[in-house]
Amino acid sequence: MHPIVPETTKTMKPATLNLEGLPEITLIPSRGRHKTISLRIHDNGRVALRFPARMNIRHAVGFIRSKTKWLEKKLTAFRLASQTQEAKGFFEGKPILYLGRLFPLCLDLTQQEKGGAGQLVFTGEKFILPAHLKDAAERLFLCWYKKAASNILMPAVKHYGAMMRVIPKNIRISSARSRWGSCSSRDTLSFSWRIAFLPQDIIDYIVVHELTHLTHKNHSRAFWDTVGNFIGDYRTKNKWLRNHHACGPV
Ligand SMILES: [Zn+2]
């Protein structure tokens, strides 16, 4: 991480802090007797750090660093809760949710000059979008997520299917908002492309859950026993899903 640290906190103007993988953090030095340091995520997704004005900025940065995991978790929850807002406004540095982590969006201004059509690219560290395609960003991201979901799900279904000795008739990538996955009476598994927002271990749980429905078309004891054979801590994962999104049972 390479934070851009403001030189001093003695000025009254709120400065901002940029830590890689996290959105811009507004620094609010508080005067007077206020001695506590706190990190807050506002309804609009902006993150603000309130801290005593006399505090050394390095302490403030250290505090944020110690809270990175917590912040990522909170922001993930925030993104999941505001998926409809997710598509609005593709600005430089916008945190994009993928596999349970936030990656910054970089708008590439050079590609148009090169004359290429350009496309949305994920480098493993950031998303690069040619700036002239910004208006099409929503469509491009949708397309990207659908492909990503398929690339994540197909090997996972194959892997766990082989272990569990079950083969679905068909696998569909849906746009469902209300459920992450489902299993039809005809043994077709459907997964929402939104699954690409989730951490890999949670996706694995959802895959095993749906594969188990090929044998058990219910949530009986036998069903959960089978899930438990392949995902030991499925209860934690189920709870995580309930806490992170009102998606209902998979
Ligand atoms: Zn189920």
Q: Which residues contact 226 (CB under 8 A, 6 or more apart)?
A: 164, 212, 215, 216
Among 48, 63, 39, CA closest to 14:
48
Could you tell me the pLDDT band of residue 2, with boundaries at 50, 70 and 90?
A: very low
Task: Express as a percent the part of the chain with pLDDT over 70.
Answer: 84
Cα 231 to middle of ligand 1, angstroms: 14
* pLDDT, tens only, 109-126: 887 666 666 799 999 999
Looking at residue 88, what is its pLDDT? 61
Calculate the alpha carbon distances from 158 to 147, 220, 234 in Å: 17, 24, 19
Contact by Cβ (8 Å): 125, 169: no
User: HSE-up of 161 (CA within 13 Å, CB side)?
Assistant: 16
Domain over 142-244 is classified CATH 3.30.2010.10? yes
Cα 206 to middle of ligand 1, angstroms: 9
Looking at residue 116, what is its pLDDT? 62
DSSP string across 30-64:
E-TT----EEEE-TTS-EEEEEETTS-HHHHHHHH
Cα 148 to middle of ligand 1, angstroms: 23
Cα 213 to middle of ligand 1, angstroms: 7
Per the prediction, the chain carries an average pLDDT of 84
* pLDDT, tens only, 38-57: 888 876 677 888 888 888 87
Q: How many whole angstroms separate alpha carbon 96 and alpha carbon 173?
A: 21
Q: Is 11's pLDDT higher than 50?
A: no
Q: How many whole angstroms separate alpha carbon 124 and alpha carbon 68?
A: 19
Domain range list for the chain: 15-66, 87-135, 142-244
In eight-state DSSP terms, residue 14 is P
Among 128, 88, 133, CA closest to 107:
128
Q: What is the mean pLDDT of residues 100-113?
A: 87
Q: How many Cβ atoms sit within 10 Å of the Cβ of residue 203? A: 23
Q: What is the mean pLDDT of residues 133-148?
A: 94
Looking at residue 13, what is its pLDDT? 53
146 versus 3: which is more confidently predicted?
Answer: 146
Could you tell me the pLDDT band of residue 14, with boundaries at 50, 70 and 90?
A: low
CB-neighbour burial class of residue 132 (10 A; exposed 0-12, middle 13-18, buried 19+): middle
* pLDDT, tens only, 76-86: 777 766 654 44
- pTM here is 0.65
Looking at residue 107, what is its pLDDT? 93
Q: What is the mean pLDDT of residues 188-210?
A: 95
Cα 128 to middle of ligand 1, angstroms: 37
What is the greatest pairwise CA distance in the chain?
Answer: 67
88 versus 148: which is more confidently predicted?
Answer: 148
Cα 211 to middle of ligand 1, angstroms: 9
